[in-house]
Chains A and B, each alone.
Chain A
Amino acid sequence: MIYDDEIETLPREALEALQFKRLQQTLERVYALVPFYKEAFKKANISPEDIKSLKDLHKLPFTTKDDLRESYPYGMFSMPINKIVRIHASSGTTGKPTVVGYSKADIEEWAQLMARSFVACGVTDKDIIQNAYGYGLFTGGLGAHYGAEKLGAAVIPISGGNTKKQIMIMVDFKSTVLTATPSYAQLLADTIEEMGLLDKINLRVGVFGAEPWSENMRQKLEEKLHIDAMDIYGLSEIMGPGVAIECEAKEGLHIWEDAFIPEIIDPQTLEPLEDGQEGEIVITTIKKQAMPIIRYRSDDMLIIRGVNVFPSQIESVLMEIEGLAPHYQLIVDRVNNLDTLEVQVEVDSKVFSDEIKKLQSLQNQIQKDIKDLLGITTKVTLVEPRTIQRSEGKAKRVIDKRKI
């Protein structure tokens, strides 16, 4: 469904004109107000006037997670602190967090984009939204909350965790929408099943994001909870949840192009790729005031022995193996200057065998499938059920122990 008729149905040409106008404004803004960008543009020998169309975007330098860390805490802000009304920070796996600031207009725009996202994936103002994203420095909780209020739905700000209470409220308040990370949604679904309450819940839509998840996980959640499980995408450095959303077709995400310009680049050559090719996503914000970001390279990807690895690729391998539970963790380390990747997978009764050789062949199969897909050798470890931490906020699918 559509929330903002005018902007969501703009013809391509008008949309691109709008994008270019907003890009120019953004570039002028960061060039004048953010020393980091002034320096970066000069180093790349480019100024905002050199960008004459959207096609010139690739001439601009990238912004990386490291750049954000180095400007900790307020170095990327383009506004004085008295114009900032909210500060979020993302939990870094290593070192300092990355800090994001929002002006009043940014918060309003974020709520608008989030409301559009809800409507696009089938949520209405009549829904009761149980918001189990964590509230706090993490953008998930408040981002979804403001969007739900903007839409006019009833929002239950329960935050993550406290699983038994979540379920009591879900049953008693007759929640119709669950917003959560997919791994927490799984934990909730498993617990509801264990408590024998699957027929007592009223959910119809799940809006899950902040972590990679697979088509198989979607199926499992949809079957168990009788919901439409929708993927939502966002990253705090860019804004938070609501950057992109799935519609009823469930065939991929729609990015809100009036606020963000996406590019797909080849992670080796860093050159933009044609439509339809797979690569790394790079996002430029064109509507943000307090902290615009130019060509942000999101860091979801792991580089292991020079090979780009996305956790979702490993997950897709695991999900294709009959009976395997979607509970896994990737542990990256560096031993004798060599990256190692360990894949820990929980063994539940569906794949368990009383013969060692069958379990070993399961290990070998996982190892081989990953090698076939990614070309890297992994150590596959089978672990007992419920030993991999179920995140109640954002899942720790990856533990990177490398000290670089």
Chain B
Amino acid sequence: MKRLNQISVFVENKPGRLLDVVEVLGNNNIDIKAISLADSSDFGIVRFICEDPKFAYEILTKNGFTASLTEVLAIAISDRPGSLARVLKSLKESNINIEYMYGFSAKIKDYAVMIIKVSDLEETIKCCVANNIQILSQSDIKSIV
């Protein structure tokens, strides 16, 4: 399984709301592997990756949050100047649009890991395989400390 389930959570843009989300996760022993916060003028979306996304989704909705599971890809890019450009070029050549992207805080060996949400998941996976771009699976995520 190349696809990762990302959790997205709706938060109002006011002090303490992000804290409320991560506190619920912390209290339930959910480890955040990567996180990003997208914002507009009055609301934001917290997106994150964890080991057991279905469990995290249940916990959040039980606690009254509006959340969803979205399929994204985690791609491993060698941590050297120009490698992100090489990946994006391959995607562009396959006419794939990136909706959003954020990075993992941890490095895996020499790789930086980027989470991308794309217009066409199947096409992106094909493109990555063809261009030798490594995609991490949910079980790979587990091994990231």
Please name all residues of chain B whose beta carbon is closer than 8 Å to the beta carbon of A352 when the two chains form the complex: 8, 10, 66-68
Q: Cβ of B38 < 8 Å from any Cβ of A? A: yes
Question: Would you mind naming 6 contact pairs between A and B with Cβ atoms under 8 Å apart?
Answer: A352-B8, A354-B6, A355-B45, A359-B45, A382-B10, A382-B43
Please name all residues of chain B whose beta carbon is closer than 8 Å to the beta carbon of A356 when the two chains form the complex: 38-40, 45
Please name all residues of chain A whose beta carbon is closer than 8 Å to the beta carbon of B11 when the two chains form the complex: 384
Q: Do the beta carbons of A384 and B40 come within 8 Å of each other? A: no
Which parts of B1-21 form the interface with A (CB within 8 Å)? Answer: 6, 8, 10-12, 17
Chain A interface main SS type: loop
The contact string, 1 if C-beta is below 8 Å from chain B, for chain A 357-368, is 001100000000
The contact string, 1 if C-beta is below 8 Å from chain B, for chain A 371-401, is 0000000000111111100000000000000
A349–B62 alpha-carbon span in the complex (Å): 12
A387–B67 alpha-carbon span in the complex (Å): 15
A193–B11 alpha-carbon span in the complex (Å): 25
Please name all residues of chain A whose beta carbon is closer than 8 Å to the beta carbon of B65 when the two chains form the complex: 384-385
The one of B12, B42, B70 that contacts A354, using a Cβ cutoff of 8 Å: B70
A227–B65 alpha-carbon span in the complex (Å): 29
Q: Do the beta carbons of B99 and A353 come within 8 Å of each other? A: no
Q: Do the beta carbons of B100 and A355 come within 8 Å of each other? A: yes
A347–B61 alpha-carbon span in the complex (Å): 13
Q: Do the beta carbons of A354 and B40 come within 8 Å of each other? A: no
Which parts of A330-368 form the interface with B (CB within 8 Å)? Answer: 347-349, 352-356, 359-360
Please name all residues of chain A whose beta carbon is closer than 8 Å to the beta carbon of B38 when the two chains form the complex: 356
Known A347-B10, A354-B117, A356-B40; contact A386-B64, beta-carbon cutoff 8 A: yes
A360–B117 alpha-carbon span in the complex (Å): 18
Please name all residues of chain B whose beta carbon is closer than 8 Å to the beta carbon of A347 when the two chains form the complex: 10, 43, 66
| Residue total for A at the interface (Cβ-Cβ under 8 A) | 17
Please name all residues of chain A whose beta carbon is closer than 8 Å to the beta carbon of B47 when the two chains form the complex: 354
Closest 10 A/B residue pairs (Cβ): A354-B8, A354-B70, A352-B66, A356-B38, A382-B43, A347-B10, A381-B42, A347-B66, A384-B12, A356-B40
| Residue total for B at the interface (Cβ-Cβ under 8 A) | 23
Given A383-B43, A384-B64, 19 further pairs, Cβ under 8 A: A347-B66, A348-B66, A349-B66, A352-B68, A354-B6, A354-B45, A354-B47, A354-B70, A354-B117, A355-B100, A356-B38, A356-B40, A381-B43, A383-B12, A384-B65, A385-B64, A385-B65, A386-B64, A387-B12
Chain B's closest residue to A360 (CB) is: B40
Please name all residues of chain A whose beta carbon is closer than 8 Å to the beta carbon of B117 when the two chains form the complex: 354-355
Residues on A facing B (Cβ under 8 Å): 347-349, 352-356, 359-360, 381-387
Please name all residues of chain A whose beta carbon is closer than 8 Å to the beta carbon of B67 when the two chains form the complex: 349, 352
Please name all residues of chain B whose beta carbon is closer than 8 Å to the beta carbon of A383 when the two chains form the complex: 12, 43
Please name all residues of chain B whose beta carbon is closer than 8 Å to the beta carbon of A381 when the two chains form the complex: 42-43
Please name all residues of chain A whose beta carbon is closer than 8 Å to the beta carbon of B68 when the two chains form the complex: 349, 352-354
* A81 CB to nearest B CB, Å: 49
Please name all residues of chain B whose beta carbon is closer than 8 Å to the beta carbon of A387 when the two chains form the complex: 12
A359–B9 alpha-carbon span in the complex (Å): 12
Chain A's closest residue to B66 (CB) is: A352
Chain B's closest residue to A386 (CB) is: B64
* B4 CB to nearest A CB, Å: 13
A349–B99 alpha-carbon span in the complex (Å): 20
Chain A's closest residue to B11 (CB) is: A384
A356–B117 alpha-carbon span in the complex (Å): 13
Chain A's closest residue to B39 (CB) is: A356
* A344 CB to nearest B CB, Å: 10
Q: Do the beta carbons of A355 and B99 come within 8 Å of each other? A: yes
The one of A355, A360, A384 that contacts B66, using a Cβ cutoff of 8 Å: A384
* B101 CB to nearest A CB, Å: 13
A383–B39 alpha-carbon span in the complex (Å): 14
Please name all residues of chain B whose beta carbon is closer than 8 Å to the beta carbon of A385 when the two chains form the complex: 64-66
A354–B115 alpha-carbon span in the complex (Å): 14
Chain A's closest residue to B99 (CB) is: A355
A354–B47 alpha-carbon span in the complex (Å): 8
Highest count of chain A CB atoms <10 Å: which of B39, B47, B65, B66: B66
* A348 CB to nearest B CB, Å: 6
Please name all residues of chain A whose beta carbon is closer than 8 Å to the beta carbon of B8 when the two chains form the complex: 352, 354
A382–B12 alpha-carbon span in the complex (Å): 8
A381–B40 alpha-carbon span in the complex (Å): 11
Highest count of chain B CB atoms <10 Å: which of A347, A382, A387: A382
The contact string, 1 if C-beta is below 8 Å from chain A, for chain B 95-133, is 000011000000000000000010000000000000000
